[in-house]
A = this chain, B = another copy of it.
Amino acid sequence: MNTLEQFSSTQKSLIEEELISAIKSLETPAKLKESMLYSVKAGGKRIRPLLLLAVIKTFGQDTKKGLKTAAALEMIHTYSLIHDDLPSMDDDDLRRGLPTNHKVFGEAVAILSGDALLTKSFELVVDSPIADQSKVKIIAMLANAAGAEGMVGGQMADIEGENASLSLEQLESVHRRKTGRLLEFAAAAGGVISGLNEDELKKLRMYAEHIGLAFQIRDDILDVEGNEEEIGKPVGSDESRQKSTYPSILGMEKAKEKLAFHLTQARKILRDLHQEPALLVDLADLIAKRKN
């Protein structure tokens, strides 16, 4: 196992325990809880919370300080998947090889589960073992990254861009919001918890921006070249929806070059930020080379 694999196997279980216990302890109708747990347990790579914790680990702090914020971030990611999959949005029946939340629980419960996960995430940050000043900073960053100026705005732009021919700039702007901002949050929140200064936080955000773009390019490539069983949804779904993607705009070869470029940039920034950035280098590699 490389450095990241060792780190991930421990931290993923802790993140999942935190997520599950936060939901199980809620006093709320059983069906709502069941639906929240269903999507939170549906797995996934937990890349966002792992990134947050990897930053804390890299800067020599106790990852426990970031566990609740990491779980909060994964809750927001999960809520966004539940809402994005709804019939009026992307209308997806499968997510990670399993029926989507509304296919199992119905649309009303799926909408409410998403709302509840989003709301709970802010309570989790408040419950973190960090100073009030850091909590306030992280909550402001999280709301901004997840909201109208971040992820929700990106989803809106994505819906508007469906069936339209986007330029590379437009495509990149959608992805910066839809995927990029939460990854930036992950890195910067890890930095805040580690007590880093503004210059270091800026570098962490730049690193995250590059791996965010790499993440999305890889996603678009997998939709063409991926293995249906591994990615857990049908191959070619972007094309059948006439969605603009990196391969559709740049061609496959240039898309792969661009992926490699962002990976190189991410590594450069890391070398400038820290003497032993192995964990964060591995994470960038994982994103660029993942099979699902």
Interface residues of A (CB under 8 A from B): 26-29, 31-33, 36, 79, 83, 86, 88-89, 106-109, 111-112, 114-116, 118-120, 122-123, 126-127, 132-133, 135-136, 139-140, 142-144, 146-149, 152-153, 155-157, 159-160
Residues of the B chain whose Cβ atoms lie less than 8 Å from the Cβ of A153: 26-29, 32, 116
Q: Are B126 and A147 in contact (CB under 8 A)?
A: no
Given contacts A28-B153, A156-B28, contact A111 B86 (CB under 8 A): yes
The answer on a CB contact under 8 Å between B123 and A140 is yes
Contact assessment for B119 and A139 in the assembled complex, using a CB-CB cutoff below 8 Å: no
Copies in the complex: 2
Q: If A88-B106, A153-B28 touch, does A36 touch B148 (CB 8 Å cutoff)?
A: yes
Please state if B146 and A119 are interface contacts (CB–CB under 8 Å).
Answer: yes
Return A34 CB to nearest CB of chain B, in Å: 11
- Give bound CA distance, A129 to B139, whole Å: 16
A153 to B112, CA, bound (A): 8
29 intermolecular pairs with C-beta atoms under 8 Å apart? A26-B153, A27-B149, A28-B152, A28-B156, A29-B160, A32-B148, A32-B152, A32-B153, A33-B148, A36-B148, A79-B115, A83-B111, A86-B108, A108-B159, A109-B156, A112-B155, A112-B159, A115-B152, A116-B147, A116-B153, A118-B118, A119-B152, A120-B147, A122-B139, A123-B143, A126-B140, A127-B140, A135-B136, A136-B136
